[in-house]
Amino acid sequence: MSRRQSLQILKKFIPSITRCSTRSVTYMPRPGDGSTRKVTLIPGDGIGPLVTGAVEQVMDAMHAPIVFEKYDVHGDMKKIPEGVLESIRENKVCIKGGLMTPVGGGVSSLNVHLRKELDLYASLVHCFNVKGIQTRHDNVDIVVIRENSEGEYAGLEHEVVPGVVESLKVITKFCSERIAKYAFEYAYLNNRKKVTAVHKANIMKLADGLFLESCREIAAQYPTIEYNEIIVDNCCMQLVSKPEQFDVMVTPNLYGNLVSNVAAGIAGGTGVMPGGNVGPEHAVFEQGASAGNVGKLELVEQKKANPVALLLSSAMMLRHLQFPSFADRLETAVQHVIEEGKYRTKDLGGNSTTQQVVDAVLANLD
């Protein structure tokens, strides 16, 4: 048989070979992995009910093995109802919309309260270029891992004398080491090449100095992963000028909030960036970047909130629950809708309603 004849025969098999190559190596579940899982659902404030409603519709359409336990929680409540915490403790997993946090006076943040009660010490926001969304920078793929339990968010502030307020920033070796450990473990498990510690140790020499010391000690345990450090103000400048240099970033509490929102804005906007919070026993998934997670009243009235961020966060949740094929189907459908460009909300240059985007995602589920 000639070489030409061999090639002609081989070409007949190429389409089937191509189709097979798109499927990943078979996921072999453990017995019982397909059992229905309960997940606590908190619609929240503002656009929260719209985007969590989108998640409910998609999960139902995919026949995902999930049952939601829905609870009514709002940011102006004095505390999270005990039944909600009991549900999350029992189910281990929660997905939520944004909870409004009053500025200045008023009740304390229920988001912070939730993290403290459940020891959700690590926040993860994935900021990446989404195919079909034009941005100033290409090759952005940043994971911001933020310490969630202390720092400026400890809430330790008081009025010393009238007109003088003292706010304490608390940094501990225990919390710094465990967030650094989580960041390097994430990088190792996800084939990431570099971890960057963000700090202000040139000014806060003791507090941020302890954070850096802890990161260096953990970095020594992962010799195959590159480690570097950057001062937070230079970090922000580098993010807007050359974001592709960053891979995994590990930060204290306040810096992480700022950096993740900047990175999200660079990569395509807060409406498309997924995220979550995780601790030793529980995980809470929500829109990745905090800016805009409650949204403007106009979006609520017009029902034009972007559901993509929370849909992608729910895909993260599905993987966390060991339902990878459902996560793949959801991500593929969302990506197709964005890339096609026919149905987009205002923040992505379109004028579609939340439901129109959801309907398009449903139509693209395979």
pTM of the model: 0.89
H/E stretch holding 14: helix 3-21
SS (H, E, C) 252-291: CHHHHHHHHHHHHHHHCCHHHCEEEEECCCCEEEEECCCC
| Domains identified in the chain and CATH numbers | 35-124+275-365 (3.40.718.10), 136-267 (3.40.718.10)
Closest CA to 302 of 100, 50, 74, 72: 50
Taken in order 269, 129, 60, 341, the sign of the CA dihedral is positive
Residues 6+ apart with CB under 8 A from 189: none
> How many Cα atoms sit within 13 Å of 288 on the Cβ side?
34
Q: Give the whole-angstrom CA distance, residue 237 versus residue 251.
A: 16
pLDDT for residue 22: 56
**Per-residue confidence of the chain (366 residues) as pLDDT tens digits?**
554 454 454 344 434 333 344 555 677 888 988 899 999 999 999 999 999 999 999 999 999 999 999 999 998 888 898 899 999 999 999 999 999 887 766 557 888 889 999 999 999 999 999 999 999 999 999 999 999 999 988 778 888 999 999 988 999 999 999 999 999 999 999 999 999 999 999 999 999 999 999 999 999 999 999 999 999 999 999 999 999 999 999 999 999 999 999 999 999 999 999 999 999 999 999 998 876 678 788 899 999 999 999 999 999 999 999 999 999 999 999 999 999 999 999 999 999 999 999 999 999 998
Residue 294: CB atoms within 10 Å: 22
- Going by C-alpha positions, the residue among 80, 83, 38 that lies closest to residue 59 is 38
Phi-psi bin for 99: left (phi > 0), alpha (psi -120 to 50), beta? beta
For residue 285, give the nearest of 273, 295, 294, 296 by alpha carbon: 273
Residue 151: closest CA among 211, 235, 215, 231: 211
Phi, psi of 299 (to 5 degrees): -65, -40
pLDDT of res. 230: 97
Rounded Cα–Cα distance for residues 285 and 303 (Å): 22
Measured CA to CA, the distance from residue 67 to residue 60 in angstroms comes to 9
State the number of CA atoms in the 13 A half-sphere of 188 facing the CB. 12
Element (H, E) at 112: helix 110-118
Beta bridge partners of 68: 39
Query: Cα–Cα distances in Å, from 165 out to 18, 109, 158, 161, 162?
Result: 65, 19, 6, 7, 8
Could you give the strand order of the β-sheet that contains 283-287, starting from the edge strand earlier in sequence? 66-70, 37-42, 93-96, 283-287, 274-278, 122-128, 141-147, 248-251, 194-199, 226-231
- H helices then E strands: how many in the chain? 12, 12
Partners of 67 in beta bridges: 38
From 298, 296, 323, 329, select the one nearest 311 (Cα to Cα).
329
Residue with tokens 């048989």: 1
List C-alpha distances in Å: 64 to 50, 106, 357.
20, 40, 20
Cβ neighbours of 152 (radius 10 Å): 17
How many C-alpha atoms does 41 have within 13 Å on its Cβ side?
20
